[in-house]
Amino acid sequence: MHLIKYAFSLAIIFIGWDFAEAQTKIGLFDNHLDIGEVKNEGFAQYHKINQTYTVGGSGGNMWFDQDEFQYLWTTIQGDFIVRAELEFLGKGVDPHRKAGWIIKNDLNSDTPHVNASVHGDGLTALQYRNAIKGITEENISTDSLPDVIQLERRGSTFIMSTAKFGQPFVEVKTSNASIKNQVYIGLYVCAHNADIVEVVKFRNVRIIRPAASDFKPYSDYIGSNLEIMEVSTGHRKILYSTANTIQAPNWTPDGKHLIYNGGGRLYKHPISEGKISPINTGFTIKNNNDHVLTFDGSLMGISNHNEDDNNQSTLYYLRSEGDSIPVRVTPSGAGDSYLHGWSPDNSKMIFTGNRNGQFDVYTVDINTGVEQQLTEQKTLDDGAEYSPNGKYIFFNSVRSGKMKLWRMNADGENQVQLTDDEYNDWFPHVSPDQKWIAFISFPKDIDPSDHPFYKQCLLRIMPFNGGTPRIIGYIYGGQGTINVPSWSPDSKFISFVTNTRF
């Protein structure tokens, strides 16, 4: 019997943790085991409430022609994106203790693999073995001590993306690995010292099967995760996963529910335990993802596509609980109208209107139907939303060449650009305490007038009065992720949708 020396006290790990009952399935993974002839047994645990994983691994090394490590694995075929944020627990013993993602052809210790690796001393590398009992090779990253690690497969190419949380990814690639289509994928920990067990905590773990490269937008859809995030920490939790497409969650003013759309209908999902329930919107059953509650929560505005009006997107409102007759606001034949917000006094809707052959920001008085045009550009203006005090309107515009965030006075005057970097920024959402603006940033290589489905995007945040944005979330999503106001009433959380094939 070996006396195990733990680099981090396991007693500390288990204090206050409400682990799920022992079972074969461990969160997203099928099982765990030690790869190779490790001297000391490793472990893997899933914390159901926080959706985090704690993995302990021994092993002398993962190099040359043999590997020894603890492996938390599942199986997958074809292309994928796997991502996690990691934290080594304790000071550690060997500077080359390592953790990350590894894809393997089988569960043997000498198999071909690709390994996205972060070492305790900061070394970050994409390591790979091309043949059984072959020598391990590596492509070293310029990144050091990242805590976000992603491994992506695109056909025969493997891409490791890493970052210190809040920073952009740094990429390293290889196309030299001999990896099968059907493989094992998972998290691992190697102590790089046979006599000890090193422990790593993983959070925001995601296994993503991206859309096919030839999918047709607005025709071919993949599945969805309804998520919430604690903005101050970036910690996320999946509330609901479905093989269907759902989009654009609103947070109700009482903080108890999210409202999202799916298949033309609206649904209410409890934040805590409870049943998903449909919202009765009467005859408006082709609702898109532009549904918005008033600041006080009494009314809900919707954009519904009318079959008797050439499928035009038209604005309506009804009581937020549903079960009332929707009141039409924009008239037949006016052109598509896409809702994005309410004035704080509930008297006006603010929307993107297709008028006179271009899309601009308008308001409309819900009682009189009188519209006021606030922007006038040949390029697209979209995503407008009032600040809680009613003084400003935030929106996105492509007038400067990329899609960027802008601010104007409530009367449309004094239009000022707020963001100016390589990304395309959409849908500014102001926190209820008026301290922050959350938004989604699309990659720099998209059409700036398009907010497409199924891209690797960023959730970012910036101060209400302007300043440098910072990343709070790395996501696979896009259209439908965060189209509508999505802050919790206490300004601590946001809600959004990410995507994957099931």
pLDDT of 221-268, one tens digit each? 999 999 999 999 999 999 999 999 999 999 999 999 999 999 999 999
The Cα 128–Cα 110 span in angstroms is 11
In the predicted structure, residue 130 carries a pLDDT above the cut 50 = yes
Q: Domain check: are 231 and 92 in the same one?
A: no
What is the domain-level CATH number for residue 311?
Answer: 2.120.10.30
182 exposure class (CB count in 10 Å sphere: 0-12, 13-18, 19+): exposed
Tell me the pTM.
0.94
Whether residue 104 is contained in a domain is answered as: yes
Whether residue 215 is contained in a domain is answered as: no
Q: Domain check: are 270 and 182 in the same one?
A: no
In the predicted structure, residue 15 carries a pLDDT above the cut 50 = no
491 exposure class (CB count in 10 Å sphere: 0-12, 13-18, 19+): middle
The Cα 347–Cα 364 span in angstroms is 8
Q: Which two tokens stand for residue 104?
A: 């393997």
The Cα 494–Cα 237 span in angstroms is 11
Q: Which of 264, 230, 262, 269 is closest to 248 using CA atoms?
A: 262
Q: What is the pLDDT of residue 12?
A: 40
Whether residue 32 is contained in a domain is answered as: yes
Q: What is the pLDDT of residue 8?
A: 52
The Cα 292–Cα 467 span in angstroms is 27
Dihedral of the alpha carbons of 247, 253, 254, 260, in degrees to the nearest 10: -10
- Number of domain units in the chain: 2
How does pLDDT run across 21-69, given as a tens digit for each residue? 445 799 999 999 999 999 999 999 999 999 999 999 999 999 999 999 9
Q: Domain check: are 170 and 248 in the same one?
A: no
Q: Which of 160, 184, 208 is the last residue of a domain?
A: 208
Q: Which of 382, 422, 416 is closest to 402 using CA atoms?
A: 422
Please give the full DSSP string across 6-53, using - where no structure is assigned: ESS-HHHHHTT--PPPS-S-BTTBSEEEEES--SS--EEEEETTTTEE
Dihedral of the alpha carbons of 432, 438, 439, 440, in degrees to the nearest 10: -130
Whether residue 304 is contained in a domain is answered as: yes
Q: Which of 208, 243, 267 is the last residue of a domain?
A: 208
C-beta separation of 322 from 280 below 8 A? yes
Q: Name which of 7-16, 162-171, 271-280 the model is least confident about.
A: 7-16
C-beta separation of 86 from 167 below 8 A? no
Whether residue 178 is contained in a domain is answered as: yes
Q: Domain check: are 263 and 387 in the same one?
A: yes
In the predicted structure, residue 424 carries a pLDDT above the cut 70 = yes
Q: Domain check: are 130 and 263 in the same one?
A: no
The Cα 236–Cα 245 span in angstroms is 20
Whether residue 214 is contained in a domain is answered as: no
What is the domain-level CATH number for residue 60?
Answer: 2.60.120.200
C-beta separation of 39 from 191 below 8 A? no
C-beta separation of 343 from 350 below 8 A? yes
What is residue 308's three-state secondary structure? helix
Q: Domain check: are 155 and 303 in the same one?
A: no
Q: Domain check: are 46 and 182 in the same one?
A: yes
Q: How confident is the model at residue 7 (pLDDT cuts 50, 70, 90)?
A: low
Q: Domain check: are 427 and 464 in the same one?
A: yes
Mean pLDDT, rounded, for 440-459: 96
The overall average pLDDT reported for the chain is: 94
What is residue 307's three-state secondary structure? helix
Instruction: Tokens 């059409």: give the residue.
Output: 447
Angle at 260 between CA 332 and CA 492, to 5 degrees: 125
Mean pLDDT, rounded, for 342-366: 97
Q: Which two tokens stand for residue 184?
A: 């094992």
Q: Measured between alpha carbons, how far is residue 219 from residues 201, 264, 286 in Å? A: 39, 14, 15
Q: Domain check: are 388 and 239 in the same one?
A: yes
Angle at 317 between CA 311 and CA 319, to 5 degrees: 135
Q: Domain check: are 253 and 200 in the same one?
A: no
Q: For the chain, what's the residue count?
A: 502
Whether residue 324 is contained in a domain is answered as: yes
Q: Domain check: are 227 and 191 in the same one?
A: no
Q: Which of 157, 179, 208 is the last residue of a domain?
A: 208
Whether residue 216 is contained in a domain is answered as: no
28 is in which domain, residue-wise? 5-208
Q: Domain check: are 201 and 244 in the same one?
A: no
Contacts of 124 (CB under 8 A, 6+ apart): 117, 118, 140, 141, 143, 144, 145, 146, 160, 162
